Structure 1
Amino acid sequence: MLHKTVCRIMFSLLPVFAANAQAEDVIQILTQNYPPFSMSVSGKNFEREDGIEGIDKEVVVELFKRAGIPYQMTLRFPWSRLQEMAEQQPDFAVYSLSRNPERESRFKWVGPLSEIQLVLLKIPGNPITLNNLDDARQYSIGSVAGTSVSQYLEKQNFTVKNVLSNAPAKLQAGEFDLWATTNPAGDYEARKAGIGKLELAFSISSTQLYLALNRETPDEVVQKLQSTLDQMRKEGFIDQVTARYLTE
């Protein structure tokens, strides 16, 4: 009788154990306000799931659905903290992150999702002329902390003012002379803010954006995501989504 009672208890707990196992397998995907790749529909700094839109957001959602991998997506800030969480916590991932030698060993990578140009932008009519990057040292530069362009400039011993939000408006107001950002994100954000198209002061380099997963993510999951993304690109899905956002 005791044996039967124990068995009934164990079987009754199976759904609980199964639910917990499934919960542990859910990948927590983090992202930030980074138009047009990922952004809050309402303009807030915290959103979930359908409250997020953007090129890479749509690609990542389609990617996980096709691959059959459960996920939850959250948009929040600051960007540097999101990267730390994805690096330190199993079953976490972050996008859109540029892949460079400093970050390479910290994550497992799926991509590329998109391509960007690291740039210095200025207000139209501003007489600043840069023949090389060193020419920018005499001007004040604003950027979002933790981004690839701000990190690059800081490693080159530039002083960069941290801008949490509304960078185009702050550039227009003269809070700094140059905005260190990426295109098409910079142009998109300025247009949405009603500032209009900004002028390119200097193009630093180009890089690609990826989905970065915690190092403990199983290799078979990474491989499944990568092969699925490759198929989506082959079908033209990524180009179609990109065109929809950049030709508005």
Structure 2
Amino acid sequence: MLTEEYSPFAFTRDGEITGSSVDQVRRIMAEVHPNYTLDIVPWARAIATAETDPATCVFTTTLLPERAERFKWVAPLNIDTLMLVGRTGGNARPLSLDAAKAFTIAVYKGDSGELFAINKGFPHLDTAPSIDLSLKKLLAGRVDLVLLTRKAYDQLREQGQPLEAILDVETTRSGIACNKAVPDLTIADMQAVLDRLIADGTQAEMERRYEKSSK
């Protein structure tokens, strides 16, 4: 299992990988495949490895049309909103996606936000290898806006980051993306555990646990 450093879904705290998606994956794999491994790596590397290594899955991966046939899926780990975020007090305040195309938008490589912006024809993209670097550029005034999920934005605000929600752009659904060589039975067993976590309220409880958590 591979993931990226992206709070509140997966992040390192006191030397341990934790987060709302991590907790769900740990519960799933404890029942389905207890001898799994879990590592945090840069996102572009994580998703590329899951596509080429027959024993690898990656999360939290947004389900997109261009990704649907490239992986086998266990979902949803998370339902969220992709949004444009600016600096508190900043001047970039587009009221529509078309208006936002006049600004420089920070995205990070291989992320669903980058794919969304490319598909929508945004002409001024600043691509970074991590979300942390994109945020640093935003706060330093080197870019105008950044694409984030609402849950990530809410947690950054809880941490005191001077950010402001500007425009909701898309509802997203994310899950575990597995290499297509992973057996169908394994995928079905993983999905059955996740379905149970959703039905009995465990997923919602895991998400609430990290709503005001910080790195």
Q: TM-score, normalised by structure 2?
A: 0.91
Q: Distance in 1 between matches of 2:93 and 2:212?
A: 29
| RMSD of aligned alpha carbons | 1.6
Q: Which residue of 1 aligns with 2:168?
A: 203
Amino acid at match of 1:195: Q
User: Any idea what SS the aligned residue of 2:210 has?
Assistant: helix
Shift of 1:66: 2.4
Structure 2 counterparts to residues 1-248 of structure 1, below 5 A: 29-41=1-13, 51-77=16-42, 79-158=43-122, 159-163=124-128, 164=130, 165-192=132-159, 194-196=160-162, 198-248=163-213
Residues 203-230 of structure 1, C-alpha deviation per residue, up to 9 Å, x if partnerless? 1101111001110111111101101111
Amino acid at match of 1:156: K
The count of corresponding residues between Structure 1 and Structure 2 is: 210
Amino acid at match of 2:75: G
User: Any idea what SS the aligned residue of 1:179 has?
Assistant: strand
User: Any idea what SS the aligned residue of 1:37 has?
Assistant: coil
- Structure 1 stretches of at least 4 aligned residues deviating more than 6 Å after TM superposition: none
Query: Which structure 2 segments of 5+ residues have no match?
Result: none
| Kept in 2: contact 1:85–1:92 (CA 8 A) | yes
Query: Which structure 1 segments of 5+ residues have no match?
Result: 1-28, 43-49
Q: Which residue of 2 aligns with 1:8?
A: none
Residues 57-112 of structure 1, C-alpha deviation per residue, up to 9 Å, x if partnerless? 011001111234431001011x1221111011111100000111100111000010
Shift of 1:157: 2.4
| Kept in 2: contact 1:168–1:195 (CA 8 A) | no
Shift of 1:169: 3.5
Amino acid at match of 1:162: T
Q: Distance in 2 between matches of 1:86 and 1:166?
A: 24
Amino acid at match of 1:178: L
| Kept in 2: contact 1:87–1:106 (CA 8 A) | yes
Percent identical residues: 28
| Kept in 1: contact 2:92–2:145 (CA 8 A) | no
Query: Which structure: greater helix fraction?
Result: 1
